[in-house]
A = this chain, B = another copy of it.
Amino acid sequence: MQGIWFSELQTPGLAISVKLKKTLHHEKTPYQDLAVVETESYGRMLLLDNIIQTTVGDEFFYHEMIAHVPLNTHPNPRTALVIGGGDGGVIREIIKHPSIEKATLVEIDARVVANAREYLPEISCGLDDARVEIRFEDGIEHVRQMENTYDVIIVDSTDPIGPAVGLFSAEFYRNVYRALKPDGLFVAQTESPLFNGRLIRRIQRDLAEIFPIARLYLGTVPTYPGGLWSFSLGSKEYDPLEVDWKKAPQLVTRYYTPAIHQGAFALPPFVQEILEKRDEEEF
């Protein structure tokens, strides 16, 4: 392992290391430590507080799965909100849907957007679309203030430590419910089924109390711990397992397809067990 490497401690006993060609940028923003590096294996990479957020090489897995599953579940999504996601990857996927009239990005840290624009054009390229509005404010606060506004809300947050903790709370999910239209739905990234089972179980139980339809789905994300990631979906009316595929838009994608959409909800027994486990412990 010669040369300069970046290492992320993914769990107390597990680390991923990527060889760097170059550090392109490094700053302390008002909210976090931000770096953009160029890696050998995955191209350019965005780090926030020394955690890999996205890479040009593998970002499509995550961004396609968090965006197209809810957008294809809704038969006619016109307004979408992204909380977090300042790199622009989710926005880029959202505006592939011809029904979208307005996509709002609420990112607390303007420096993430500025650096994504400068260093990650492949990911941020959708941010200048005329349908996109960018607001630099607290997503928790934004959702608290909105009512009956969005067809789809996507929570593309950092891990549940520090400022993002509130994005994993039942109170937040109740506010998301209120901010959605009467037939709206939402998706959040909800960490690793291998390492965050208790968190996923608690979120799924919260969602089942708030939304008529609550579901979990999985997707590959190579640079995240264990390579397998979970997404939690709460919906007022539409079921992601009953999409009318004949009416879905033709999308140019690299990972997502209708078959992969369906397959993502086929949970392995070890994940079913996580959801069904009795657990009296505090989260």
Interface on A for B, CB 8 Å cutoff?
Answer: 1, 5, 7, 9, 11-19, 39-42, 58, 60, 194-195, 220-222, 226-228, 253-257, 259-260, 262-264, 266, 268-270
With A17-B17, A19-B14, A263-B262 given, is the CB distance from A270 to B255 under 8 Å?
A: yes
The minimal Cβ–Cβ distance linking A251 to chain B, given in whole angstroms, is 10
Identical chains in the assembly? 2
The minimal Cβ–Cβ distance linking A261 to chain B, given in whole angstroms, is 9
Q: Is the interface of A mostly helix, strand, loop or mixed?
A: mixed
Q: Besides A16-B16, A17-B17, A253-B269, 11 other CB < 8 A contacts?
A: A1-B15, A13-B18, A13-B40, A14-B16, A14-B19, A14-B42, A222-B226, A222-B228, A227-B227, A253-B268, A262-B266
The minimal Cβ–Cβ distance linking A274 to chain B, given in whole angstroms, is 11
* Bound CA span A192–B91, Å: 29
Q: Which of B9, B17, B40, B194 contacts A222 (CB 8 A)?
A: B194
Which chain B residues lie closer than 8 Å to A270 at the CB level?
A: 60, 254-255
Top 7 closest A-B pairs, CB basis? A227-B227, A263-B263, A13-B40, A259-B266, A13-B19, A13-B41, A222-B226
**Cβ A268 vs Cβ B263 within 8 A:** no
